[in-house]
A and B are shown apart, each in its own frame.
Chain A
């Protein structure tokens, strides 16, 4: 008994000893280590032919030219296009990761298309006299915007709604002094490449309470008392004394004096965070109209399109009259707070939103239809606020939509019964017929007069990476500038002034934004607010603590960040649809511990 057991042990022992003299154990150790190099879950990048393709970024109105590095046609990285005279090869962080958007986990992936069509049709013929069918276009100035306007003209009682577009554009290159009332010049305003290209020539005076990215690089930052911009403007415009302004704004007299002098001397321009703010009227006093503030020009249109509905602002729409509201949120743009829209809707209004995000109107609309996202959609981009002269560029799709999407333009055209057509092509032909301007191809960086190209090549180049520009030096003064006087913030007991941090907001943000928001503290995530140490202390809020942002319109659960760079009496927020709905017109709030 014992002997056999002992022998068995000996046998095993011998086996073990022998095994060590064979390659087997060592090879297995090596292989397991190799296995850890590509164990399950680690994807293998596709290999294949690498080609460059061109398009334009539609994430904001800047429409920067984009060079996409594609493997087997699939874009794997995006860069700017150096020869492009407007964007100068620059992209913003959102644009750089734009090719990830189609795969965003939070993207709207399906929607009740048939139901929506049926509901809209029903509502349209059931609606009583005077009830309106309306399209809300968050990004006016595109070719599809004209489709909407034509559609609304074709429909009886059609209404084309859009956030106010400035009737002017800013010629930064012509300015020597830029006085910015909180305009995020270096962080989301206009075309990044254009701003930085012009940066060398102008002196920047940034007037805002928080030291934003723009203020940090400004030649002069005036940390103004929140809400006293008008007083400062008055002083710069010579309506009040500098002393008075200094008293109200908390900015030193000599500083204001220096700014006033600089503004009066040179070709100057005044910018405001909101392009239609009355502060812009200061430009007239500084004789900037026609020099740095010029008329905004759109590329030529087909004659047939002239019969189009006028642009109406939400405020001007009749109350309780909109029976059908179609919202094009496919591209992030000027979000109109919901509480401005709600009163305009009829009792049993049908609201359809074309969007990719659940953050915006999807929270309010009855029908949420998935729209294509950049770079899936064939779009064009209207001129940006800092684009002088006419320009036409197409965002050619880099890949087919990865989810079943609805094209808002086609949807609207269909319910309005417009004839089937390709508006972009028609527009391109119209521009080509106009025979003005030049066509710039990105592949070779060559610019050729439009009249020397055939219509087909014109169209081909626009789609394969190119843009049409007509910047005839003649600059016209803009028409009469209209401004919305910002309603005096209601003097309720809410202690904090809401200030929006810069950056592109609304719409899907590339998943990689986590690098800037969560994985470093470079940018404020959408659910964060920044407070001054003093305000935080007085409300018992600690850094990174959950708290509630309360305004007259409601409350929102956010995470507090204590930032010594934020003055007392100010709460800095990452502007977005939720915040817009929350703050609306009255930008005052309170932050309390959750």
Chain B
């Protein structure tokens, strides 16, 4: 980081997600893969071996048709703010919480692929590169220069489009500022969401949209009781949707898609 600490207030970037607006189109997942140089995986990959930094889950209220209702829940790295499970398990400091942004960073070039962090993460938001990255011939021309492709055998995850953060920093620097303009730093998924279900901002800035969303009564966080202070705030007017924040209930076992 290049700007002085003193003239920069620490940020706490977070996201608010309005589940009642998400139609599960998947634009966020596509934009994420495009932005972060994530290749389409070989045929052998399934939903348990895929790499989807943000993954939209289809959830339902476990009632029989026609009372059954569905909702779509985008799950990305929840950027836990308090004893972040993945950080202190990593044996070689490949995971860190950036004090300046509150973003949980994963260092592919430091990672040795022990996958302990994936075991530690209750949100399954961390993904292992089971294959070397391979793009269809010619498609590597479309890679994003602000993000380095990862190699096989390392763990990766959402970092709020850190490439965009770097770019915003650079833009600010070009203008002689050390503070970035919030409008310049928006993750790809948020930018791509056609329904405006996703919002991004600094939770430390009480005037920001996300900070206010987080205060809403219908707002909740996944597995809040674990005490890891995630920075992704979901909200829904539907009671049964807010239930998903809690621990699983075995009677909820039923055929999920796929």
**Chain A–chain B contact at Cβ < 8 A:** yes
- What residues make up the interface of A, taking CB atoms closer than 8 Å to B? 36-39, 41-48, 50, 71, 74-80, 90-93, 96-97, 99-100, 102-105, 186-187, 192-193, 196, 199, 211, 213-214, 216-217, 223, 402, 510-516, 518-523, 530, 532-533, 543-544, 561-568
State in angstroms the CA–CA spacing of A358 and B32 once bound together.
Answer: 28
State in angstroms the CA–CA spacing of A519 and B132 once bound together.
Answer: 16
Are A103 and B50 neighbours in the complex by a CB distance under 8 Å?
no
CB of A573 to closest CB in B, whole Å: 14
Q: B30 at the A/B interface (Cβ < 8 Å)?
A: yes
Are B35 and A77 neighbours in the complex by a CB distance under 8 Å?
yes
CB of A240 to closest CB in B, whole Å: 22
Are A522 and B142 neighbours in the complex by a CB distance under 8 Å?
no
Please name 11 pairs of A and B residues whose Cβ atoms are closer than 8 Å in the assembled complex, sorted by A.
A76-B144, A76-B145, A77-B35, A92-B194, A512-B30, A518-B45, A520-B47, A521-B258, A522-B29, A543-B255, A564-B60
State in angstroms the CA–CA spacing of A530 and B70 once bound together.
Answer: 15
Residues in B with CB closer than 8 Å to A100 are 34, 136, 139, 142
In the complex, besides A96-B27, A100-B139, A518-B50, 17 extra interface pairs with C-beta distance below 8 angstroms are A37-B109, A38-B151, A43-B133, A103-B142, A512-B30, A512-B38, A512-B40, A514-B41, A515-B26, A515-B50, A522-B26, A543-B258, A561-B257, A561-B258, A564-B60, A564-B68, A568-B65
Q: Which chain B residue shows the least CB distance to A224? A: B66
Are A217 and B20 neighbours in the complex by a CB distance under 8 Å?
yes
State in angstroms the CA–CA spacing of A79 and B139 once bound together.
Answer: 18
Are B30 and A97 neighbours in the complex by a CB distance under 8 Å?
yes
Residues in A with CB closer than 8 Å to B142 are 74-77, 99-100, 103
Q: Which of B37, B65, B258 contacts A223 (CB 8 A)?
A: B65
Q: B95 at the A/B interface (Cβ < 8 Å)?
A: no
State in angstroms the CA–CA spacing of A388 and B18 once bound together.
Answer: 30
State in angstroms the CA–CA spacing of A45 and B24 once bound together.
Answer: 30
Residues in A with CB closer than 8 Å to B234 are none
Residues in B with CB closer than 8 Å to A521 are 47, 58, 256-258
Residues in A with CB closer than 8 Å to B159 are none
Q: A511 with B136: in contact, given A223-B66, A519-B45, A521-B58 (CB under 8 Å)?
A: yes
Residues in A with CB closer than 8 Å to B196 are 196
Q: Which chain B residue shows the least CB distance to A544? A: B258
Interface residue ranges of B182-233 to A (CB < 8 Å): 188, 191-192, 194-196
Q: B64 at the A/B interface (Cβ < 8 Å)?
A: yes
Are A519 and B135 neighbours in the complex by a CB distance under 8 Å?
no
Residues in A with CB closer than 8 Å to B140 are 43, 45
Q: Which 8 A-B pairs have the closest CB atoms?
A: A519-B50, A521-B258, A90-B194, A45-B143, A43-B140, A223-B66, A103-B138, A521-B257
Q: A45 with B70: in contact, given A223-B65, A520-B55, A522-B29 (CB under 8 Å)?
A: no
Residues in A with CB closer than 8 Å to B191 are 79
Are A45 and B33 neighbours in the complex by a CB distance under 8 Å?
no
Are B141 and A519 neighbours in the complex by a CB distance under 8 Å?
no
Q: B23 at the A/B interface (Cβ < 8 Å)?
A: yes
Are A213 and B65 neighbours in the complex by a CB distance under 8 Å?
no
Q: Which chain B residue shows the least CB distance to A213? A: B23
Q: B46 at the A/B interface (Cβ < 8 Å)?
A: yes
Q: A563 with B257: in contact, given A93-B29, A514-B40 (CB under 8 Å)?
A: yes
Q: B134 at the A/B interface (Cβ < 8 Å)?
A: yes
Q: Which of B29, B46, B109, B195 contacts A515 (CB 8 A)?
A: B29
Residues in B with CB closer than 8 Å to A561 are 257-258
Q: Which of A92, A102, A211, A518 contacts B68 (CB 8 A)?
A: A211
**Chain B 54-85, CB within 8 Å of chain A: the 1/0 string?**
01111010001110111110000000000000
Interface residue ranges of B121-148 to A (CB < 8 Å): 132-145, 147-148
Q: A42 with B132: in contact, given A103-B139, A561-B258 (CB under 8 Å)?
A: yes
Residues in A with CB closer than 8 Å to B168 are none
Q: B105 at the A/B interface (Cβ < 8 Å)?
A: no
